Amino acid sequence: MKKAFVFDFDDTLAFTDACVLVLGENSSFKRLTPAEFNRYELQSGERFDFSQFKDPEFVLNGEPTNLMGFAVNVFAEGHSVFILTARHDSVVNAVQQFLRQFGVTAKAVHCVGKDAETDIPKAKRQVLLSIIENHDVVYFYDDDAANVKAAQEIGVKSYKV
């Protein structure tokens, strides 16, 4: 049976210092962790700045979560490991380098965070549909309930971490 294990990156496989900035009027700003961003609603005059999530240094300086051990085990068993993140494409190599520290090579790193208007759950669902085509069973792990729900809607075994 061909299995795929798909992991979000931030707050799922790694903790990083990258924050989403909320820019307001008069040069004011707030810093949001990925978990805070998942629940934050923009107020009038605010906009998100994801620039820290385009910076490879934030990935390379990350710390593994407890789920990294699981990713190491499923990779060692010969299963396909994928990363599916809302980060920008500019960090693909850094994510692979981070994983290699633990002996894991992802079959692919899918970055769906193109811009602030991207519907992340929908974008992640599209990538999962392509992974489903080549695997008998797909497992998905993410820290955002909306992403998990979108994956469950297409029959992916999904877990909120």
Instruction: Work out the percent of the chain whose per-residue pLDDT is above 70.
Output: 99
pLDDT score, position 27: 80
pLDDT score, position 80: 98
How much is the pTM? 0.93
The encoded tokens of residue 126 equal: 């599209």
Q: How far is CA 133 from the centre of its chain?
A: 21
The encoded tokens of residue 94 equal: 């850094």
pLDDT score, position 95: 98
pLDDT score, position 26: 81
Classified by CATH at the fold level, domain 3-15+56-160 comes out as Rossmann fold (3.40.50)
pLDDT in tens, 12-35: 999 999 999 999 988 888 999 988
pLDDT score, position 74: 98
Q: How far is CA 18 from the centre of its chain?
A: 13
The encoded tokens of residue 98 equal: 């981070």
pLDDT score, position 146: 95
pLDDT score, position 116: 67
Average pLDDT over residues 79-92: 96
pLDDT exceeds cutoff 80 at 47: yes
Distance in angstroms (rounded) separating the CA atoms of residues 155 and 137? 10
Distance in angstroms (rounded) separating the CA atoms of residues 83 and 138? 13
**108-111 and 80-85 beta bridge pairing:** parallel
pLDDT score, position 98: 98
The encoded tokens of residue 3 equal: 């299995």
pLDDT in tens, 107-140: 999 999 877 678 999 999 999 999 999 999 999 9
Q: Tell me the average pLDDT of the chain.
A: 94
In three-state secondary structure terms, 86 is: coil
User: Phi and psi (nearest 5°) for 135?
Assistant: -140, 150
